[in-house]
Structure 1
Amino acid sequence: MLNKKRTKSKGSNLVTWLMLSPAIFLLVVVSIYPFLWVFQYIMYDYNGFSKYFVGFDNIKRVFSDTLFWQSVIHTFEYAFLKLIFVMPLSLVTAVILSRKLRGSSLFRGIFFLPTIISSAVYCLIFYFIFAAYNGVLNSMLHTVGFIDKPIDWLGAPSTAMMAVVIVAIWGGFGNYMILFSSGLTSISEDVYESSKIDGANGVQTFFKITLPLLGPVLKVVLMLAITTALKDYQSIMVLTGGGPNNRTQVMFSYIYNLCFGNGTSELQIGYGAVLSVVAAIIVGIVTLIYLKISKKLDDIN
């Protein structure tokens, strides 16, 4: 009898590993191997064709690279601005659409549409919207009398970061809305019926019932939003290329330019590999801090 149980257990474990094997293979090939690959160039000056051993010079350069540390500050600024707008907006929209109003499924699909469109495509559309001359936004504002002359939304340091953040919010808002909508379906309707009987209004229901019961989902979505915002750079590459005057240069756009070039400078793959590791450590530290804080909040509650 015991041997049969052991055989059955081994068979179920084999099936489990076979089902997990495609995901494990993709994780190793797409994530783990490329990350380990960068370590071979950390101590080399490599431009894609030839490499020269430089020892710890690349590592020493990190501490004196003011442009990189400026990009780190810009990354946190970009992430903060994105999160304070996209999270409340996606949550409130998910709550409204969960009321089963007429056309809610249609609006849910429309809001989710940017998630399935290539970021390069919709960023290019926004590039023409924000264009200083003949741009849709400037034309509309001039028509209603808000501005007298065109605003260079992407070319002025005072507006470039906010313009990039607006595009990021538009692109990521639908994804988080769907995640929140999935979490809302797990909340029983009986809870809302009881709150109505007790005389709770919409605001009280949201803060006293919806938000606490949505806590586990909110914690996961917020972690995904933080890590995504810290690693985001595609929209910046299309819209501003890190300009003007490096105002929108973030960590990974800076690393991208070093490793793949921007047409004006020689490739510096060795130094880019070092910065990739530093950037990964920064994102990892932020994630660990968030997980620790969220765990403490769970313990308090």
Structure 2
Amino acid sequence: MKNQKILYLMSIPFVVWIFVFNYLPVWGWTMAFQDFRPGRSITEQEWVGFKHFITLFQDPHFYLVLRNTLVMSLMLLIVGFTIPIIFAVSLNELKDSLFKRSVQTISYLPHFVSWVVVAGIVTKMLSTDGGIINDLLVSLNIIESPIQFMAQGHWFWVILTGADIWKEMGWNSIIFLAAMAGVDPQLYEAARVDGANRWRRIWHITLPGIRPTIMVILILSIGNMISIGFERQLLLGNSLVREYSEVLELYALNYGIGMGNYSYGTALGIFNSMVSIILLLLANGFFKRMSNTSVM
């Protein structure tokens, strides 16, 4: 520690940040076991045990919201995990460095665009009044009249997944491109000498070379499956598709903060966190046993 004191000093601000914003708020979990009333001290609160958890699991709407969360999480995990890998492999195979850098830069840009702007773009593109998607489908005679995509619940999951892919694909591919840069070029030269074509080199050299990175990212993604946020659903959703758009965190926002039921919202947040921890431990244990890859 004496030899590395400079590094320890550099880490102090980040340790403080994590403590203040990640560990200190855990004290607020006590609200889930109270009928919390703002303005009262902790000794003045009424303790009710697991009352709010019982109410949570008896609420039919909770299971509807849980279904939406799991389905959207699974879609985002499958599509949002595989497409960046495919995109990264495709970029890695490009020989023209100028074109490659240009494509990389363009693909990163949507990540820095606010979801407010993205939601506006998606809504306009899918509009029945001048929306490019409907105009294209009608002009190709695929449909006879414009479809109200944003008013039909069964389209919402597909729209949200597509918007997320467009926004985050380039950014999520960065770590895979970095992993590919660490693959020994001599392996590719040896494969060419042995007569391996491009697909064989990708399958037997590139993908195995980045497998540890893929496993770690997959484990962390599974751990975050149920914590997918609410911004996308809030901005793209509306009252007509609420049955398909409301997720756990949006449900906690509406019923916890929106209706002043802080204890109920906290109980829902604890459920969310516990499920995320369990998924992370299960995924980590499974991949550690199968491929000796672990994040802890």
Q: Which category describes the TM-score, using the shorter chain as reference length?
A: 0.7 to 0.9
* Residue 44 (structure 1) shift: 3.2
Using the size of structure 1 for normalisation, the TM-score is: 0.86
| One of 27, 35, 56 as aligned partner of 2:18 | 27
SS state of the match for residue 143, structure 2?
coil
Task: Tell me how far 1:211 sits from its aligned partner.
Answer: 1.3
Paired with 1:52 and 1:121, the residues of 2 have a C-alpha distance of 42
Could you tell me how far apart the structure 2 residues matched to 1:69 and 1:93 are? 35
State the identity as a percent. 21
- When normalised by structure 2's length, the TM-score is 0.88
1:199 aligns with 2:189: no
| Contact kept in structure 2, 1:79 and 1:229, CA below 8 Å | yes
Are 1:279 and 2:272 an aligned pair? yes
Alignment partners' CA distance in 1, 2:132 and 2:150? 13
Which one-letter code corresponds to 1:167 in the other structure? A
Q: What amino acid sits opposite 2:231 in the alignment?
A: Q
Counterpart position of 1:146: 142
CA distance in 1, matches of 2:153, 2:280: 29
- Separation in structure 2 between the aligned mates of residue 228 and residue 173 of structure 1, nearest angstrom: 17
SS in 1 for 2:192: helix
Aligned structure 1 segments of 4 or more residues deviating by more than 4 angstroms: 46-52
C-alpha change, 1:278 and 1:105, in structure 2 (3 Å) is same
Rate the CA distance shift 1:226–1:126 in 2: closer, same or farther, 3 A: farther
RMSD after superposition = 2.3
- Kindly indicate whether the alpha-carbon contact (under 8 Å) linking 1:241 and 1:249 is maintained by their aligned counterparts in 2: no
| Contact 1:242–1:250 under 8 Å retained in 2 | no
Aligned partner (choices 261, 271, 277) of residue 268 of structure 1 = 261
Worse-superposed segment, 218-227 or 269-278: 218-227
- Identify unmatched segments of 5+ residues in structure 2: none
Change (3 A) 1:242 1:184: farther
State whether residues 84 and 172 of structure 2, in contact with CA within 8 Å, keep that contact through their aligned partners in structure 1: yes
Cα deviation code 1:122-176 (max 9, x no counterpart): 1232122223443332222222222212222222122111111111222221222
- Kindly report which structure 2 residues correspond to 1:1-301, keeping only aligned pairs within 5 A, or say none: 10-34=1-25, 36-46=26-36, 53=46, 55=48, 56-102=50-96, 103-232=99-228, 233-241=230-238, 244-261=241-258, 266-299=259-292
Specify every segment of 5 or more residues in structure 1 that has no aligned partner in the other structure, as ranges. 1-9
Q: Label 1:132 to 1:260 Cα distance change in 2 as closer, same or farther (>3 A).
A: farther
What are the Cα deviations for residues 168-201 of structure 1, in whole angstroms up to 9, with x where unaligned?
2222212221111011000011111111111112
Aligned AA (1:253): L
CA distance in 1, matches of 2:223, 2:116: 20
By how many angstroms is 1:46 displaced?
4.4
* Number of aligned positions between the proteins: 286
Q: For 1:98-138, what per-residue CA distance to the aligned partner results, in whole angstroms no more than 9, with x for missing partners? A: 23433111111111112222223212321222234433322
Does the 8 Å contact 2:156/2:241 carry over to 1? yes
CA shift at 1:64, angstroms? 0.4
